[in-house]
Homo-oligomer: A and B are copies of this chain.
Amino acid sequence: MSILGIVFSYSERENLRELTRLRTIASLPMAGKYRIIDFLISNFVNDGIYDIAVIARDNYHSLMDHLGAGMEWDLIRKRGGLRVLTPYAKSESGRDGLYRGSVEALSNNMHSFRRSMGDLVIMAEASILYSIDFNHLAKTHLNSNADITAVYTKQLNGHPTVPMGVAVMHFNENNRLYDLNINKDDMSAQDVCWSIGVFVIKKSLLMSLVADAMAFGKYDFLEDIIKRLSNRLDIQGYEYKGHLLEVSSVAGYMKANMNFLNANFRNRAFHRPIYTKSKDSVPARYCKGCCVKNSIISDGCRIEGTVINSVISRNVFIGKDSIVKNSVIMQNTEIMQGVSLDNVILDKDVIVRENRQLSGHETYPVVVEKASII
């Protein structure tokens, strides 16, 4: 049974403010040197799945720059490999080309899925980080004879509530899905099953469901296929119990990064290799007089100042007498002397001039847009 991975590189429910103004959620930096999508694609590759289609919608240039031809993920393959699927500018509907929903996104790329040798599809979205055994999932799906297997979790990952906008799924005693609703409240109930966006389905069934839905003008996979057809289709649940990060708000993004400062979390997240684009940077350089505590530092950095409880991406310079605390600093950022940052997210290519001070709060970090000069 050969598997095709389909990845949605965008999220319809995210609210990441300036962070996704110029990029899609999948290419958001994470844990220093990675982009969010690296975790998912590495998960596929580590499970031997080398046939991956990434659906792009808009703002995908940074994603394409990052993935390139797929070299670093070993995805330049004669059979399968990585394809980033961009929407046609001229859509048949004559609209501006933004998909009306996930069903239309799938429909517009059917030509590519059809050519894949995979006959089982694992759909996933890039906005949630996890590490799942896709082979076990696929085997479970095949053994259950279900039409669709939907992966859910009961984890809240320290959040008080189920994340806004995710699908809450209801299963009967046979583990069959009978209802689904989108979380719009601060639902805090324990034992709520919420979807991590992963579904397993035969390619042929997916193709016919998508074609049917399109014919009826139904464009949302969750609402119009999973929920609407739950009485006709046998949709089985599969619980994911591992570690998890949900990134759909700025505070969540900050928290996700901070999770990597925890050794246990790090060990679980990196127990298999996570691949990312190589930058050929030099190792990090710690100068005399620097002070670094409980932080992640990436290659190419040069640290002359102080870094505490922070996640620093590649090629960042932190000058003398500067203090960076509780912050996420993206690549190619230059922090000059005497700067003080606390609870700040600096996007890439930012320059912070001498003696500037910025400080936000854990629940509302200051976000500095890409290429700003402060």
Contacts and interface: CB of A to CB of B under 8 A. Distances in A.
B94 A96 contact: yes
A111 interface: yes
Contact of A58 (B71, B83, B88, B98): B88
A97 interface: yes
B86 A76 contact: no
Contacts of A111: 61
A1 interface: no
A25 to B, nearest CB: 16
Contacts of A57: 89
Interface string A178-207: 000000000000000000000000000000
Interface string A68-87: 11110000100001010011
Contact of A69 (B70, B88, B97, B115): B70
A64 B94 CA distance: 22
Q: Tell me the number of copies of this protein.
A: 2
A100 B140 CA distance: 51
Contact of A96 (B68, B83, B89): B89
A96 B96 CA distance: 4
Contacts of A59: 88
Interface residues of A, number: 27
Contact of A98 (B68, B86, B90, B95): B90
A112 interface: yes
Contacts of A61: 111-112
A87 B83 CA distance: 16
A97 B94 CA distance: 10
Interface in A36-81: 57-59, 61, 64-65, 68-71, 76, 81
A79 to B, nearest CB: 10
Nearest to A65: B115
Contact of A76 (B65, B69, B83, B97): B69
Contacts of A69: 68-70, 76, 81
Interface of A: 57-59, 61, 64-65, 68-71, 76, 81, 83, 86-91, 94-98, 111-112, 115
30 contacts: A57-B89, A58-B88, A58-B89, A58-B90, A59-B88, A61-B111, A64-B83, A65-B115, A68-B69, A68-B81, A69-B69, A69-B81, A71-B76, A76-B76, A86-B86, A86-B89, A87-B89, A88-B89, A89-B89, A89-B96, A89-B97, A89-B98, A90-B96, A90-B97, A91-B96, A94-B96, A95-B96, A96-B96, A96-B97, A97-B97
Q: What are the 4 closest A-B residue pairs judged by CB atoms, nearest first?
A: A89-B97, A69-B69, A87-B89, A86-B86
